[in-house]
Amino acid sequence: MNIESLIQLKETKEDFKYWINSDFVSAEIKEDLNKASILFLPFIGQRRENEATFPSGTEAIYSYFKEKIDKEFSVDICIADELYQELALHSNYKRLGKFIVKSVALPVFLAVLSSYVYDTIIKPTNEAHQVYIENTDKESPKKYLEIPEVKFTIIVEDSSKVTKEFNYEGPANQVENITESIKKLWDAK
């Protein structure tokens, strides 16, 4: 399977400036957000028109990034604290979120994202969630591992304001390969 075919890539005008100047960003936090190398972005209009929400679990992934990311890069959430809200959408997908990343921080961001998926989704699944399926030919049941699915969007911006959006929706066990492919696709721009 061609891993790169699992990634949707498109050009976008949604750069750091676009997000930092959004209605849900207060003047008080704009300066801090302008210093960030990585921003966690809300989804707009998932529940109500123009409403900014984050996937359920955003605080956990944000804390993981704050703990693991190199100190030379700053991580922030792109919304005023009083407007922050999470929305739980129940499906087979673990929604990791939407992020915008300065190209200089991309390799570190991708490594931490891959590590997060392994530590919080793949490893616990391997230890706990075995699915048993009985063969139709009446042999003894065999164990099959149910593979969790993840979904995320990464917008990358370089110093010349070239901005591309990468979307992935698929098996969590492919995230390490996907992050490597995103880096290659970005470098080939």
Give the model's pLDDT for residue 188: 87
Give the model's pLDDT for residue 48: 81
Blockwise average pLDDT, block size 10, the chain, 189 residues: 84 96 94 96 86 94 95 95 89 89 97 96 68 54 68 96 95 94 91
Domain residue limits at 163: 3-187
The answer to whether the CB of 97 falls within 8 A of the CB of 55 is yes
Give the model's pLDDT for residue 49: 82
Give the model's pLDDT for residue 170: 92
Give the model's pLDDT for residue 4: 77
The answer to whether the CB of 51 falls within 8 A of the CB of 44 is yes
Beta bridge partners of 163: 157
- Report the distance separating Cα 161 and Cα 44, nearest Å: 23
Give the model's pLDDT for residue 22: 95
Report how many domains make up the chain: 1
According to DSSP H, which parts of 7-105 are helical? 16-20, 27-35, 58-68
- Report the distance separating Cα 78 and Cα 22, nearest Å: 9
Q: pTM here?
A: 0.87
Give the model's pLDDT for residue 93: 81
- Spatial CA neighbour of 94 closest among 51, 129, 144: 129
- Report the distance separating Cα 90 and Cα 85, nearest Å: 16
Residue that the structure tokens 């399926």 belong to: 133
